[in-house]
């Protein structure tokens, strides 16, 4: 049963003066099955961030539609969009987007507070997630007191604490060094193994090699896809790199 259906997405931006149009996406379609870990790869300007923003309901497509559990995004009124996002989608951003005015704990609890959950239930949810991500010791600290990798783990905790249907990650390792990246990707794999559905946008083959399927985007269109099959990370990585060289873009690291 497919969890996420993307049907013929197109996105056209008007330039500032409205004179020229810029096509970011042209008719992209794919499906994500429950429990999949999908990576979307492409060079800068290939349209992958636009795609993720549309999947995140932060942006609206010019043509086509996105369905989550059969619910069409275009059928949700603007007023209820934030609530929908809060309940069903979890986000991890490249630059963490943690609020400096909250402690790590409060940052993680933020979506639950917005959902008006009782305090006791919030804390019950927090502890196992913090333990899984190894940030139990950091809960009372503030974002500026911890490292980038720790911030990103806190951001993941915030994304999954609402138990979303799908976790969307936009270049989650973009601001991290290679060691912190590897550890973070390991954590995403763990989440995948306990059954979370993850869609991750990245330009790094290293990051993509942790996924179970990789979609390649070029010039706003779906170019090809690779399934991991029985490959280990290393073998999958080599296939991704080989595919990228055909595509003519992307970074190896």
Partner 1 sequence: MRKFFYFKLALSNVRRNKLTYLPYLIATAVMSGVFLLISGLLFSKGLTNTPSGDTARMLFAFGLVVYAVFTFFFMLYINNFLIKRRKKEFGLYGILGLDKRHVGRVLVWENTFVFGGGLVIGSLIALVFGRLLFLLLMKLIHSIPGSTFSIPLIAFGLMFALFFVIFLVTSVSNIIRVHTASPIALLSSEKSGEKDKKGLLPLALLGLILLGGAYYFAWTTEIPGIALGLFFPLAIAVIIATYLLFLCGSIVVLRLLRMKKSLYYQPDHFVTISGMFHRMRQNARGLATICILSTMLVVTVSGTLSLYLGSGEMMRSMYPYDAQVYVPETATTQQIVDFDATLNRIAAEHNVTLSADKTKLVRELPEGEEFRRNNFVWEDSEFVEVPTLIFYDEAFRLDIEGKTEDCLAFVQAVRDQFGQSFNENPNLIVADYYTAMEDGYGFYGGLLFLGAFFAVLFLAVAVLILYFKQVSEGYEDKERFEILQKVGMDDHQVKKTINSQVLWVFFLPLGATALHMLFASKLMAWMLKTFMLYDWGLVLTCIAGTLVAFTLLYFGIYRVTARTYYRIVRR
Binding site for partner 1 (CB under 8 A): 58, 79, 81-83, 85-86, 91, 93, 97-102, 106, 109-111, 113-114, 116, 119, 122, 142-145, 158
Residue whose CB is less far from partner 1, 81 or 247: 81
Rounded to the nearest whole angstrom, what is the least distance from the CB of residue 174 to partner 1 in the complex? Answer: 16
> 87 or 239: whose CB is closer to partner 1?
87
Q: Which is nearer to partner 1, 64 or 143 (CB)?
A: 143
Name the minimum Å distance from CB 252 to partner 1: 27
Measured from the CB of residue 106, what is the shortest distance to partner 1 in angstroms?
7
Query: Residue 143: exposed, middle, or buried by beta-carbon count in 10 A (0-12, 13-18, 19+)?
Result: buried
Is the Cβ of residue 36 or residue 170 nearer to partner 1 in the bound state? 170
CB 202 within 8 A of CB 25: no
Which H or E element spans position 33? strand 21-33
Of how many residues is the chain composed?
253
CB closer to partner 1 out of 98 and 133? 98
Closest among 233, 157, 219 to 11, alpha carbons compared: 219
Residue 251: DSSP 8-state:
B
* In the complex, least distance from residue 216 CB atom to partner 1, rounded to whole angstroms: 26
Would strands 21-33 and 2-14 be described as parallel, antiparallel, or unpaired?
A: antiparallel
CB 248 → partner 1: shortest distance, Å?
Answer: 32
Which strand ranges, in their side-by-side order, compose the sheet holding 21-33?
A: 21-33, 2-14, 63-68, 71-72
């Amino acid at each position: 049963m497919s969890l996420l259906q993307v049907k013929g997405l197109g996105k056209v931006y008007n330039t500032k003066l409205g004179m020229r149009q810029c096509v970011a996406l042209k008719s992209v379609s794919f499906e994500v099955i429950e429990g999949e870990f999908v990576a979307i790869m492409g060079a800068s300007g290939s349209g992958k961030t636009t795609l993720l923003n549309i999947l995140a309901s932060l942006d609206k497509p010019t043509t086509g539609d996105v369905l989550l559990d059969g619910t069409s995004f275009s059928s949700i009124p603007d007023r209820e969009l934030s609530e929908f996002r809060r309940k069903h989608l979890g986000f991890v951003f490249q630059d963490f987007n943690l609020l400096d005015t909250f402690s790590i704990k409060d940052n993680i609890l933020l979506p639950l507070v917005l959902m008006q959950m009782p305090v006791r239930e919030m804390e019950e949810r927090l502890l196992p997630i913090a333990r899984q991500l190894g940030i139990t010791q950091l809960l009372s600290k503030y974002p500026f007191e911890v490292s980038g990798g720790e911030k990103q783990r806190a951001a993941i905790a915030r994304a999954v604490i609402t138990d979303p249907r799908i976790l969307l990650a936009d270049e989650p390792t973009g601001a991290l060094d290679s060691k912190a990246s590897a550890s973070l990707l390991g954590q995403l794999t763990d989440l995948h193994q306990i059954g979370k559905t993850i869609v991750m946008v990245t330009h790094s083959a290293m990051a993509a090699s942790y996924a179970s399927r990789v979609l390649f985007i070029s010039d706003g269109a779906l170019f090809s896809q690779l399934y991991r099959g029985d490959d280990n990370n290393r073998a999958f990585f080599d296939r991704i790199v080989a595919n990228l060289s055909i595509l003519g873009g992307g970074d190896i690291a």
